[in-house]
Structure 1
Amino acid sequence: MELLYPQEHLTCYNYEKGERPTIEKVGIKKGQKWELFSIDNKAFFVLNGSLRFSFGEFSGRSIIAGKIMLIPSGSQMVFRAEEDCVFIIIRLHDTKHLCDCFSLDVLLREKTDGFEPDLYYLDINERVESFLSFLDICMTDGLKCTYYFELKAKEFYFLLRAYYEKADLLGFFYPLLSKDISFSDLVIKNHYKAKTVQELADLTHYSLSGFQKRFKKVFGVSAYHWMKDVRSKSIYHQINSTEKSFKEISDEYGFSSPSHFNDFCKVHFGTTPGRIRRKKTANKI
């Protein structure tokens, strides 16, 4: 079955033409490297093949066909296909509710004493597989309307609500969850643009004191220590998963000298940047 009046779709201003489509399908060959900087929260569906990837403190992780991974906004990721791979990415513009009657923060009630935060994959179950299959067919036909994609993203939320255990959804969405999702979502979507707590407060339209108070209440740590931890994870990723020189990384993150950068790595990672990079050959992406 063919898409009718294709030229009308292609010339419509609602047709997805930008660099950040709500939904996209990507294919990469075995051994090919693929890099991603995620401005938005994304759901990452592996249809075929398998990938190794690194981001933040996670190194040499794998994801295989039939799995869904959440990629939080601000993530810098490097993937390498272990075999020919096809995946679909859906940008999650609303990360507060699965439906009008189910706020994501409700999932925190499912947290038990034995819960350990980590990368958590959902299985592509029968209903989501059907959803992805039909979506793929329509995209292949050329149906790429912005409004259609937004409806499909909402449909995915409804499927999560209807066909997945709350305990599994807790693990999947945990990086985004807090007791005040509106505020934490605002922070997560803007933190990578700021170098200081004051800049982050400005970006989120708070006074410095008001921002620090609310941040501590929501995240349980000070904004300064949280940003310091995020910065450390980003630096580790740059050392471990990119080809940038240490000088480039040092300059990018504002270190005053190579020795200062070296000392930072020893304090935060327990070793030098050179040793971190040499180790990556064992977990090569």
Structure 2
Amino acid sequence: MPGDSFCIQYTNCEGCPRATENILIHRNLPKGEHIPKDKCTQNCMLFMIKGELLINSEEYPGNILREKQFILQAIGSKIEILALTDVEYVVYWFNELPLLCEDRYKEVMEQAEVPLTYTPMVMSERLFHLITSMPEFLNEESPCSKYIELKCKELVFLITNFYPLPQLSAFFYPISTYTESFHYFVMQNYGTVKNVEEFAHLGGYTTTTFRRLFKNLYGVPVYEWILEKKREGILEDLQHTKMRITEICNRYGFDSLSHFAHFCKDSFGDTPRALRKKAACGEKIGKIAD
């Protein structure tokens, strides 16, 4: 078939323009492996193949995931992981789901409501069979992206069309507030911009239009919101990561270490290095009260 000849002409898949991005990742962690709390830069689903994994996030505080269970974390959420045993799992990263049945997903999102408590979903036999078949091709040197895209569509289809609507509505609630493109744009890019004008230009908006849209959706001026998010991220990085001060400075778009130090003094009462030392000694650090 003509469509088959495209890949046949490549003897080395690394040279193929269809080489995959890391949207599906297979992981094995040894017992005791700890992944510190970090912010999700995309939506993700985590599917347990074997073992016990301690999850700590706002939705799943102190939950233990076991074989055949899976969860969803929204873009912007923070998650920490500890392997209680040797574990194996697959992570699916996405911005928007590849839907075969848009009407069904629309129905799910229209009824999405916050659950009293978040409960991990349990994989059906068909879904578990799909997940356990993934490591074989994911561990190839250069998995084909088109094949992985098909697997992602199958994965989403088996979730959205073979579970009861109330269960799906609770499961997908964390991403229901990010379904609009403007929300996605804001959550994906706020950490990389230096000012409101740059933010607006990045999205193709005039500054005035961007400010108005943002205020209508978030209820606060965009500059105040960005500063608050930066403060939260800086405190998190100073207390819970081993990132160098210069890396944190660059991560949040400061022009110089002195500018970063002034920002920290104004926001938290001390320099970044002093704040990190305080945190290491068990002292609580936080924002200066307004």
TM normalised by structure 1 equals 0.70
Which residue of structure 1 aligns with residue 208 of structure 2?
A: 209
2:282 is aligned with 1:278: yes
Cα separation, 2, equivalents of 1:62 and 1:80: 11
Partner of residue 68, structure 1:
70
Q: Identify the range of structure 1 (21-30 vs 217-226) with the bigger mean alpha-carbon deviation.
A: 217-226
Matched residue, 1:26: 27
Partner SS, residue 101 of structure 1: helix
The CA deviation at 1:160 is: 2.0
Distance 1:96 1:218, change over 3 A: farther
Q: In 2, are the aligned partners of 1:54 and 1:237 still within 8 Å (CA)? A: no
Aligned to 1:79: 81
Retained in 1: the 8 A contact 2:192–2:251?
no
Instruction: Give the structure 2 partner of residue 227 of structure 1.
Output: 226
* 8 Å Cα contact 1:42/1:70 also seen in 2: yes
Contact 2:108–2:168 (8 Å) recurs in 1: no
Q: Is the 8 A contact 1:250 1:261 kept in 2?
A: no
- Deviation string 1:7-50 (CA, Å, 9 cap, x unpaired) is 94645615646xx4221201111122336664432222222223
Q: In 2, Cα distance between the equivalents of 1:252 and 1:142?
A: 31
Secondary structure of 1:217 counterpart: helix
Aligned pairs for 1:97-116 (under 5 A) are 99-104=101-106, 107-111=109-113, 115=114
Q: Which structure is richer in relative contact order (CA contacts within 8 A, separation 6 or more)?
A: 1
Tell me by how many angstroms 1:246 deviates: 7.6
2:3 aligned residue: none
User: How far apart are 1:256 and its partner, in Å?
Assistant: 0.6
Q: State yes or no: 1:162 paired with 2:129.
A: no
Deviations 1:38-72 (A, max 9, x none): 443222222222334556x7897444123323343
Residue by residue, what CA displacement relative to the aligned partner does 1:95-120 show, whole Å, maximum 9, x if unpaired?
A: 48573324558624343xxx368866
Decide which moves more: 213-222 or 182-191: 213-222
User: Displacement, 1:171?
Assistant: 3.6
Q: Is the 8 A contact 1:96 1:104 kept in 2?
A: no
1:48–1:24 CA distance, 2 compared to 1 (3 A): same
Which sections of structure 2, spanning at least 5 residues, go unmatched?
Answer: 1-7, 253-259, 285-290
Greater Rg by CA: 2
Q: State the secondary structure of the residue aligned to 2:262.
A: coil
3-state secondary structure, aligned to 1:163: coil
Deviates more, 1:42-51 or 1:214-223: 214-223
Q: Structure 2 length as normaliser, TM-score?
A: 0.69
Q: Show the counterpart of 1:181.
A: 180
Query: Identity of paired residues, percent?
Result: 21
* CA RMSD after TM alignment: 4.2
Cα 1:247–1:60 shift into 2, 3 Å = farther
- The answer to whether 1:90 aligns with 2:97 is no
Displacement of 1:225 in angstroms is 4.4
- When residues 110 and 239 of structure 1 are mapped into structure 2, their CA distance, relative to the original with a 3 A threshold, is same
2:262 matched residue in structure 1: 256
Aligned length: 264
Cα separation, 2, equivalents of 1:59 and 1:261: 30
